[in-house]
């Protein structure tokens, strides 16, 4: 990327997204334009809706006692999420619980603002709690960048197989560490007008290029955690699945803006297993390279 192109991109982003300049006071290691590009909100299945950007997935789960929001994307996406929630006919102020698949800045950076606005309770898998509370300073890879997002106060610590219930909806959290120490996935049953769907909101265990399978002082158990995660994810049974990144579950191939409601397009076990197998091959290669 040339210097002139970077300057032009920075200028355009500052105009299109007013919060962009403020976000630059934080040390963001990388920014993809697809992460902040708006996208049409839509019903995934039953009471689960997509309210994220073109690539960073945020999910609204509506219940009789308020709503659950999973992931936020970048800090400047708070307005995009709010607009999506309201466009679907729901009240942003009715969000009661905040969850995340992982605590890297591209999935949690708007939580501080949304928590302040809605008063929702932040719940997070225990190994990621400190990173969320200190704005990313203790992250085992990006911590040397300093704070990468605004710190978020944690209201409830979660553990593997814990349940999160609001109204008539119950989620099970599966701890899937490796990408971050507390990466996790959520499984729930959601019913529409015709049937009940078992839906998995997955955190694909991407092996970052900076991650070393041995010799990482900040994460000495990373190799064991990844190995356990691969097996855990392959063992989960579900009807349909989505992920923390739209690109990971091929959203833009499976659904176009304006398409009618059709949860069945996300019944794609083959892609899910192929993605995990690819990550596992990368992991095995890293282990061999070290040896």
The reply to whether 115 falls in a domain is yes
CA atoms within 13 A on the CB side of 60: 27
Task: For 82, list phi and psi in degrees, rounded to 5.
Answer: -60, -45
Instruction: Output the pLDDT for position 6.
Output: 37
The reply to whether 175 falls in a domain is yes
Residue identified by tokens 């690819």 is 278
User: For residue 99, what are the domain limits?
Assistant: 14-290
Compute the distance between CA of residue 139 and CA of residue 144 in angstroms, rounded to an integer: 8
The reply to whether 159 falls in a domain is yes
Please write the tens of the pLDDT for every residue from 212-247: 998 788 999 999 999 999 999 999 999 999 999 999
CATH of the domain at 263: 3.60.15.10
The reply to whether 3 falls in a domain is no
Look up residue 217 and give its DSSP letter: T
Compute the distance between CA of residue 7 and CA of residue 86 in angstroms, rounded to an integer: 34
Please write the tens of the pLDDT for every residue from 88-134: 999 999 999 999 999 999 999 999 999 999 999 999 999 999 999 99
10 Å Cβ neighbour count for 270?
Answer: 8
Instruction: Output the pLDDT for position 139.
Output: 97
The reply to whether 1 falls in a domain is no
The pTM of the full predicted model, rounded to 2 decimals, is: 0.90
Count the domains in the chain. Answer: 1
Instruction: Output the pLDDT for position 215.
Output: 76
The reply to whether 29 falls in a domain is yes
Residues of the chain with pLDDT below 50 are: 1-24
Instruction: Output the pLDDT for position 289.
Output: 78
Please measure the distance between the N-terminal and C-terminal CA atoms of the chain and give it in whole angstroms.
35
Instruction: Output the pLDDT for position 15.
Output: 39
Instruction: Output the pLDDT for position 17.
Output: 43
The reply to whether 6 falls in a domain is no
Decide if 144 contacts 201 (C-beta within 8 A).
no
Structure tokens given for 38: 């708006």
Instruction: Output the pLDDT for position 291.
Output: 56
The reply to whether 8 falls in a domain is no
């Amino acid at each position: 990327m040339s210097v002139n192109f970077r300057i032009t991109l920075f200028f355009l982003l500052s105009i299109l997204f007013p919060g962009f300049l403020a976000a630059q006071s934080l040390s963001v290691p990388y920014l993809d334009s697809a992460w902040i590009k708006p996208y049409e909100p839509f019903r995934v299945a039953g009471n689960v809706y997509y309210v994220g950007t073109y690539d960073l997935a945020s999910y609204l789960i509506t219940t009789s006692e308020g709503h659950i929001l999973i992931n936020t994307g970048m800090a400047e996406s708070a307005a995009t999420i709010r607009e999506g929630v309201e466009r679907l006919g729901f009240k942003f102020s009715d969000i009661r619980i905040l969850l995340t698949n992982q605590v890297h800045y591209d999935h949690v950076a708007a939580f501080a603002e949304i928590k302040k606005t809605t008063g929702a309770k932040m719940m997070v898998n225990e190994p990621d709690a400190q990173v969320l509370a200190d704005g990313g300073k203790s992250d085992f890879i990006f911590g040397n960048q300093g704070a990468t997002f605004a710190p978020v106060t944690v209201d409830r610590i979660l553990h593997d197989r814990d349940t999160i219930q609001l109204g008539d909806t119950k989620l099970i959290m599966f701890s899937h560490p490796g990408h971050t120490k507390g990466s996790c996935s959520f499984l729930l049953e959601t019913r529409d007008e015709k049937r009940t769907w078992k839906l998995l909101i997955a955190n694909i265990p991407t092996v970052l290029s900076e991650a070393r399978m041995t010799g990482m002082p900040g994460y000495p158990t990373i190799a064991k955690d990844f190995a356990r995660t691969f097996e855990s994810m392959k063992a989960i049974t579900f009807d349909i699945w989505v992920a923390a990144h739209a690109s990971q579950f091929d959203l833009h191939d499976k659904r176009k803006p304006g398409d009618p409601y059709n949860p069945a397009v996300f019944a794609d076990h083959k892609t899910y297993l192929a993605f995990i197998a690819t990550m596992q091959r990368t992991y095995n290669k890293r282990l061999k390279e070290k040896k």
